[in-house]
Structure 1
Amino acid sequence: MNPATTFPVHGVFSAAATPVLADGAPDHESFASHARALLAEGCDGIALLGTTGEANSFSLMQRRQLLEHVIAAGVEPKRLLPGTSQTNVADTVALTRHALDAGVAASVVLPPFYYKGVSDEGLFRFYAEVIEGVASDSLRVVLYHIPPIAQVGISLELTARLREAFPGIIIGVKDSSGKLESMAAFASAFENFAVLAGADPLMLPLLRAGGAGCITSSSNLIARHLRVVFDNWFDPQKAAEVEAAQGRINAWRDLSNAYVQLPTIKAMLAKRRGHDGWTRVRPPLVELTADEIATVWARMGELEAADNV
């Protein structure tokens, strides 16, 4: 039995990118198609409206509508982990309550990220007011630790205090620190607590350290390789298969970082999904140049050929 499947949330979740129309609004039809494809390619679920999903570039209404549409398009809400945080309590409560009412598995909640150097006491008050504002024992929250972007992190002490104050609600953390030691510390500190890697190459070592899986950007493109790793990492007889899949994961991740990551991921999706509209990003992000896209697509062809050998 896979030890990671004992956690309240576990597996391969895609930090799904959000296609946008020419007017900048989310492209509901293309996103729903992408979500269905990700599930067919091996994802356990979709973590929509996170960093890769450009959540903070959309209005509250746009975020609610995207979630509603993907569910209406046939994606089971229990396979969704939407990001529901804003920099203020009221909007975070509204988005989180909406997601809960829609039946999602859990909400992924960033700390308020505008003010820097805030204390754990301040962060505890934010999360406590959100949880008390939603006011439901059915609420499930995955904390989002991404100090390279938010510059406001989630400490072990804050996590412990929240779990004690709100038992059963704080079920895990997405750790996008990029540091395996941070992820392993979360995994060793708490029982029945899902630690999800935010970087594709780190899922395997995190699983070995007691983690629960991943929420990653490259899974928009390489879910099947992550699936091999997650399903077989604990089986010595599958070690060679796992290491081969890990090598492919690392190569695709390197390509996704060839330029600014999010526009690169979307350029890669334009080729994979056969839809040039995928290259669009929302300000302040900027699309790759035509030459950069050509370079990325050429390298994709090489990786796809190697994958199919």
Structure 2
Amino acid sequence: MIDARPTRLRGVLAPVVTPFHANLDVNAGEFVRHCAWLLENGAGLAIFGTNSEANSLSVAERIRLTETLLEAGLPASSMMPGTGTSSLVDTVSLTRHAVHAGAGGVLMLPPFFYKKISDDALFAYYAEVIERVADERLSLYLYNIPALSGVPISLDLIERLLTRYPDTIAGVKDSSGDWANTKAMIDVFARDGLDIFPASEALLSTALPLGAAGCISATANVNPRNIALLCERWRSEEATALQDSVTRIRKVFESVPMIPAMKQVIAHATDDGEWLTVRPPLEQLKQDNSARLIDELTMAGFKFENLRYR
């Protein structure tokens, strides 16, 4: 158990894709290798995020995978596990485990099964989790992804939570897809010390000068080094070229379903067909989409050899 509150996470974090064997069991060894490669290339580990197929993983699987990473020597302080579920009890269990392990923070979805929830109800949910975990080391990042959760996290809710729990509410990942919303979060809360993470590296050159903390981006799974360089060098003469490059690659991935697309690219680069496996109800890319993805990434200058981390 770690006693001290970890240092805040900044820069680029990857919602780490979860590899499965052909029988749909988690491939823990490959998960460790991919996480280690991400760290080596400058990305933090937002394990069990949306693009991790987290909602297809059980509580036991998430805890076991976290323990596997720790046993392999990967630093907990570089991890921001997703812990939000529709079950209050499961959310508390996952959050408590992450805090005790020394995670740099937790990324918490709202209770996404329940739609049209009032801010009062959401406040009660988050407050109950915080009170039950009851640990001053908890750094909680709210996860706003209304297109999938159906439950938007408003600026008023953030303000209420920050007022009640100023030492616990650490930031927000905004996957609203609405730059005006992301900018409002940065403008209102960054000066109060909240770390605001857009969900796409395409926004970095715009968001970082305003005070954004970095980004938590799906495509950091396959392009971490260049995104990390942009986070580090956004004031430099290289910034425009870096931004153009990462945006171009991001747009290719956005043209197809993101999770199977990233797994397709990793499988192609590593020559490991098991990487293609997704848990139902997700489906692998169709053959024509797979071929088009590889061709378009090649034309965009994507370096597949950089993914050969074996």
User: TM-score, normalised to structure 1's length?
Assistant: 0.92
Q: Secondary structure at the match of 1:52?
A: helix
Partner residue in 2 for 1:20: 20
Match of 2:245 among 227, 245, 248: 248
Q: Note if contact 1:8-1:192 (Cα within 8 Å) is conserved in structure 2.
A: no
For the 8 Å contact 1:201–1:249, the answer to whether it is kept is yes
Which residue identity does 1:147 align to in structure 2? P
* Alpha-carbon offset, residue 289 of structure 1: 1.9
| 8 A contact 1:268–1:300 mirrored in 2 | no
Indicate yes or no: 2:257 matched with 1:260. yes
Amino-acid identity (%): 35
One-letter amino acid matched to 1:202: L
What's the offset of the Cα at 1:284?
Answer: 1.2
Tell me if the contact between 2:8 and 2:104 (Cα under 8 Å) persists in the aligned partners. Answer: no
- Using the TM superposition, give the Cα deviation of residue 295 of structure 1 relative to its aligned residue in structure 2, in angstroms: 2.2
Kept in 2: contact 1:257–1:264 (CA 8 A): no
Alignment partner, residue 291 of structure 1: 288
Distance 1:293 1:167, change over 3 A: same
Tell me the secondary structure at the aligned position of residue 136 of structure 1.
coil
Please give the root-mean-square deviation of Cα atoms over the aligned residues, in Å. 1.7
* Structure 1 contact 145–176 (Cα < 8 Å) conserved: yes
Mapping of 1:267-278 within 5 angstroms? 267-278=264-275
Amino acid at match of 1:280: T
Task: Note the C-alpha offset of 1:168.
Answer: 0.7
Query: Following TM superposition, by how much is the alpha carbon of 1:25 offset from its aligned partner in structure 2, in angstroms?
Result: 2.0
Unaligned 5+ segments in structure 2 are 1-6, 306-310
Between the aligned partners of 1:71 and 1:257, the Cα distance in structure 2 is 32
Q: Deviations over 1:214-245 (max 9, x none)?
A: 11001111112112211111x3xx23x11111
Q: Is the 8 A contact 1:11 1:212 kept in 2?
A: yes
2:202 matched residue in structure 1: 201
Contact 1:258 1:264 in 2 (8 A): no
The answer as to whether partners of 1:140 and 1:169 remain within 8 angstroms in 2 is yes
Structure 2 residue 4 is the aligned partner of structure 1 residue 31: no
By how many angstroms is 1:112 displaced? 0.5
SS in structure 2 opposite 1:218? helix
Give the deviation of 1:202 after TM superposition.
1.3
**For residues 62 and 307 of structure 1, what CA distance do their matches in structure 2 show?**
30
Aligned residues: 297
Q: CA deviation at 1:306?
A: 7.7
Equivalence for 2:50: 51
Q: Which residue of 2 aligns with 1:139?
A: 138
> Partner of 2:308 in structure 1?
none
CA–CA distance in structure 2, aligned partners of residues 120 and 305 of structure 1:
43
- CA deviations 1:76-132 (Å, max 9, x no partner) are 000000001110211100010011111100010000011111100000010011111
Name the CA distance, whole Å, in 2 between partners of 1:278 and 1:200: 24
Stretch of structure 1 that moved more, 293-302 or 27-36: 293-302
Residue 3 (structure 1) aligns with: none
SS at match of 2:12: strand
- Superposed CA deviations along residues 137-195 of structure 1, whole A, max 9, x for unmatched, are 11110100011111111111111111111121000000111122111111111211000
CA distance in structure 1 between the aligned counterparts of 2:283 and 2:206, rounded to whole angstroms: 33
Letter aligned with residue 208 of structure 1: P
Quote the Cα distance in structure 2 between the aligned partners of 1:277 and 1:305.
22
Letter in 1 for 2:164: A
Q: In the alignment, which residue of structure 1 is the partner of 2:101?
A: 102
Match of 1:280 among 247, 270, 277: 277
Secondary structure of 1:188's partner?
helix
Does residue 177 in structure 1 map to residue 176 in structure 2? yes
2:218 maps to what in 1?
Answer: 217
Shift of 1:305: 6.3
1:4 is aligned to none
Q: Distance in 1 between matches of 2:181 and 2:118?
A: 19
Quote the offset at 1:298 in angstroms. Answer: 2.6
For 1:84 and 1:232, the matched residues in 2 are separated by: 31
Distance 1:137 1:306 in 2: 43
| 1:112 has 2:123 as partner | no
* CA shift in 2, pair 1:192/1:279, >3 Å: same
Q: 1:305 to 1:222 in 2, by over 3 A?
A: closer
Write the distance in 1 (CA, Å) between the matches of 2:100 and 2:270. 31
Q: Does the residue aligned with 1:69 lie in a helix, a strand or coil?
A: helix
Contact conserved, 2:20 with 2:277, CA < 8 A, in 1? yes
